[in-house]
Amino acid sequence: MKKLFYEVGSLDKRCYEKFSLTEDLLMEHASLSIYSYIDKNVKRSKSILIVCGPGNNGADGIALARLLYLKYDVKLYIPFGVKSKMAILQLKRVKLLGINIIKEFSSSDVVIDCLFGSGLNKDLDKDSELIIDSMNSLNALKIACDIPSGINNKGQVTKKAFEAKITITMGALKVSLYTDIAKEYVGKIIVANLGIQRDVYESNTNIYLLEKSDIKLPFRDKKNSHKGDFGHLNVIAGCKKGAGIIASKAAFSFGAGLVSIVCHEEIHLPSYIMQTHSISNNCSAIAIGMGLGNYENEEIKSILSKDIPLIIDADLFHEEIILDVLEKNVVLTPHPKEFCSLLKISGIDNIDIKTLQDNRFFYVEKFCKKYPNIVLLLKGANVLISKDNKIYVNCFGNSNLSKAGSGDVLSGLIGSLLSQGYDPLHATINSSLAHALASNNYKRNNYSLIPDDLIQEIEKL
């Protein structure tokens, strides 16, 4: 896992006060990091346009121009002049070298966005919008310094933003790079070393970025075993029975020893999935909500009251009966619309989807502060998983998963690990990673993924 931070100004200040580093020294290393990437990936014959703002993000770009000078055809564009102390100093240095400072926007093979960085805290003006449009229109390698301009310090895009292929962020990873909307703009993210190793630069945090290496698959190391050693998941099937069947197939493929669908009607099932009309005596976890539709409230209350690990999805997030489980160790997996409903039912807030999507981290923290026993997985382009005061970000998802049934697969995976004895948080983290990484391994057209394809890829992990 890697650490994420809401802001890094305090980390910079700590470098000045504790390690006697200077703003100039940190900036030099910031520009050197971008220089190193260009030196390794851009041919000498290419032209480079560096677009600089008036503050320290612009100062990083001006320092970069000095490092690239004579090695590349460098054009420095500073449309709003310079205002910060460091930007004034860096401009003085490049002028003494005689670097080309252009008066009008110009095309190039590489464009580097150094307009605003992560400190942006207001809407763009029309001139800034025009410059961002011009940068985006270039057929060029697009690199953002720190964070693409137009993304504010909350990770929101109010109007437009620079569309980077590469973002080289300074010192540490920022939460604002991992909002759903930011995913459209950041491209590949690289962290620049600012003169000390990240382990020293970074401090404590409660937000973490999951890595591929964090996944722990349910491999069976025990040789003397039987199916009962690996749990018995019960999946509650409602009026949309396909959802329950998909979840059941995913659960079985992810290691559950037995999987039974609980349904009052006889339904056609794969030969390895059992059917029952009530919760099994040896049930070790329950998955409920997927395609549930209309179900008798008393029966649902009876199921939710059982002292068995629960994964809850979909329809139940619109029902007040969900309040019966919010003090338990339960996994909830809403998508944004369902989470808005959950926030309203639980008395936390009454918001629309846009407000939620603009403030995903805030509302996840707010919900989990009120219900610290719950494991919450908020679906999205970047999945947020939270328990108590910690948040884990899974950024590996992609548009392959934007299909009906993908969420049912996820519910089955979580239910499977719960039935095998994983604690709710680790069942959710590992299932979410398996779900996303499997979707990335799918080799056919990204519009063609169906649940069975996803389950097959999970079997290959």
Tell me the mean pLDDT in the region 395-413.
Answer: 96
Question: What percent of the chain lies above the pLDDT cut of 90?
Answer: 92
Tell me the mean pLDDT in the region 279-302.
Answer: 89
Average pLDDT, the chain: 95
Instruction: Let me know whether 161 and 228 are in one domain.
Output: no
Specify the pLDDT at position 105: 93
Which backbone phi and psi does 84 adopt, to 5 degrees? -70, 155
Q: Are 185 and 162 in contact (CB under 8 A)?
A: yes
Distance CA 366, CA 343 (A): 9
Instruction: Let me know whether 77 and 199 are in one domain.
Output: yes
Q: What is the CATH number of the domain that holds 48?
A: 3.40.50.10260
What DSSP state is assigned to residue 21? -
Instruction: Let me know whether 35 and 176 are in one domain.
Output: yes
Tell me the mean pLDDT in the region 420-430.
Answer: 98
Q: Are 287 and 415 in contact (CB under 8 A)?
A: yes
Specify the pLDDT at position 219: 94
Give the total number of structural domains in the chain: 2
| pLDDT band of 117, cuts 50, 70, 90 | confident
pLDDT tens for each residue of 325-363: 999 999 999 999 999 999 999 999 999 999 999 999 999
Reported pTM: 0.95
Spatial CB neighbours of 225, under 8 Å, sequence gap ≥ 6: none
Domain that holds residue 47: 2-205
Q: Which ranges constitute the DSSP H helices of 20-159?
A: 23-41, 56-68, 85-97, 126-137
- Bridge-partner residues for 190, per DSSP? 168
Instruction: Let me know whether 77 and 182 are in one domain.
Output: yes
Least confident of 116-120, 318-322, 405-409: 116-120
- Bridge-partner residues for 4, per DSSP? 173, 207
- Bridge-partner residues for 72, per DSSP? 69
Specify the pLDDT at position 205: 97
Per-position b or e across 82-92, b if 16+ CB within 10 A of its CB: bebebbebbbe
Distance CA 201, CA 215 (A): 26
pLDDT tens for each residue of 229-277: 899 999 999 888 999 999 999 999 999 999 999 998 889 999 999 999 9
- Residue 148 burial (C-beta neighbours within 10 Å; 0-12, 13-18, 19+): buried
DSSP letters spanning 176-210: GGGSTGGGGT--EEEEEP-SS-HHHH----SEEE-
Q: Are 373 and 328 in contact (CB under 8 A)?
A: yes
Instruction: Let me know whether 317 and 427 are in one domain.
Output: yes
Residue 294 pLDDT greater than 70, yes or no: no
Distance CA 371, CA 362 (A): 14
Instruction: Let me know whether 90 and 198 are in one domain.
Output: yes
Instruction: Let me know whether 231 and 303 are in one domain.
Output: yes
Distance CA 428, CA 434 (A): 10
Sheet holding 390-394, edge to edge: 173-174, 2-5, 207-209, 390-394, 383-387, 375-378, 330-332, 310-312, 285-288, 232-236, 258-262, 274-276
Instruction: Let me know whether 242 and 115 are in one domain.
Output: no
- Bridge-partner residues for 377, per DSSP? 385
Specify the pLDDT at position 366: 97
What DSSP state is assigned to residue 171? S
Least confident of 112-121, 166-175, 312-321: 112-121
Instruction: Let me know whether 248 and 386 are in one domain.
Output: yes
- Which of 205, 232, 264 corresponds to the end of one domain? 205
* Side-chain-facing half-sphere of 244: CA atoms under 13 Å: 29
CA distances from 116 to 42, 52, 144 (A): 24, 8, 10
The C-alpha R_g of the chain, in whole angstroms, comes to 25
How wide is the angle at C-alpha 111 spanned by C-alphas 92 and 71, nearest 5°? 60
- Which of 174, 205, 236 corresponds to the end of one domain? 205
Spatial CB neighbours of 46, under 8 Å, sequence gap ≥ 6: 72, 73, 108, 109, 110
Instruction: Let me know whether 200 and 240 are in one domain.
Output: no
Identity (one letter) of the amino acid at 228? G
Spatial CB neighbours of 447, under 8 Å, sequence gap ≥ 6: none
- Which of 177, 205, 233 corresponds to the end of one domain? 205
Instruction: Let me know whether 224 and 91 are in one domain.
Output: no
Q: What is the CATH number of the domain that holds 422?
A: 3.40.1190.20
Q: Are 277 and 263 in contact (CB under 8 A)?
A: yes
Instruction: Let me know whether 200 and 226 are in one domain.
Output: no
Specify the pLDDT at position 420: 97
Residue 118 pLDDT greater than 80, yes or no: no
